[in-house]
Amino acid sequence: MNEPVATDEQLAAEAKREGSDGPAFVELLSRYRDRVWRICYRLLGNEHDAQDAAQEVFVRLFTNRGKFAGRSKYSTWVHGVAVRTCLTLRRGRGRRQRRVGTADDATLEGESKPIAAADTGLSLDLNRMLEVLDEEDRALLILKYAEDYNYDELAAIFELSVSACKMRISRARERLKQRFPDQINE
């Protein structure tokens, strides 16, 4: 007979008791590796940074494995750690980029031109549009619309009420509509 598959929450409790990277933590790592990397990639925008961030997320999950209290689903807790890690890395990257001289800024501008409409049918690169938002609002929109999180999950990840989460998403969408009126349709 097949042994019943342990839930994430059961594995998290076992990983806490193991005190090291035993089989329960290794199983959790295996279950979440792809999802964490995808979140990191969506929030950071490139493979190298996503790989670094995902590794950092799993280090944090390991060192904080005793802090999962079970007040939410384990997946929500993991995704919250991933989002906060990525936001921290993006903020750090933003500060480093602001210190770079204007000559480098001109080079970066040349490298990140929007894709021509004739080439792809897109009139403006979505990532460049999202860059006008602050880090958390950008992350909220990406997780809501690209990763299909519901408002309850987002509220838990960002430690907001559901109504505050809905309001932030609505305001972020409105800012994008005001900034890019020709590209955003309802």
Give the helix/strand (H/E) hosting 47: helix 47-63
Supply the pLDDT for residue 94: 61
Supply the pLDDT for residue 131: 84
Residue 147: other Cβ atoms inside 10 A: 15
Name the residue ranges covered by the structural domains of the chain.
Answer: 1-101, 114-181
Q: CA angle, corner 49, sides to 46 and 52, nearest 5?
A: 145
Supply the pLDDT for residue 182: 76
Name residue 128's amino acid. Answer: R
> 23-44 and 74-99 are packed helices; what angle lies between their axes, rounded to 10 degrees?
40
Q: Tell whether domain 1-101 is in CATH 1.20.900.10.
A: no
Supply the pLDDT for residue 184: 65
Cβ contacts of 33-36, under 8 Å, gap ≥ 24: 33/58, 35/75, 35/78, 35/79, 36/78, 36/79, 36/82
Place of tokens 């998403």: 169
Cα(87)–Cα(138) distance, rounded to whole angstroms?
10
> How far is CA 104 from each of CA 6, 110, 183, rounded to the nearest angstrom?
51, 10, 28
Supply the pLDDT for residue 183: 72
| Regions of the chain with pLDDT less than 70 | 1-3, 94-124, 184-186
**Whether the domain at 1-101 and the domain at 114-181 fall into the same CATH topology:** no
CATH of domain 114-181: 1.10.10.10
Supply the pLDDT for residue 104: 44
> Tens of pLDDT along 79-127?
999 999 999 998 877 655 544 443 344 334 444 333 333 344 343 477 7
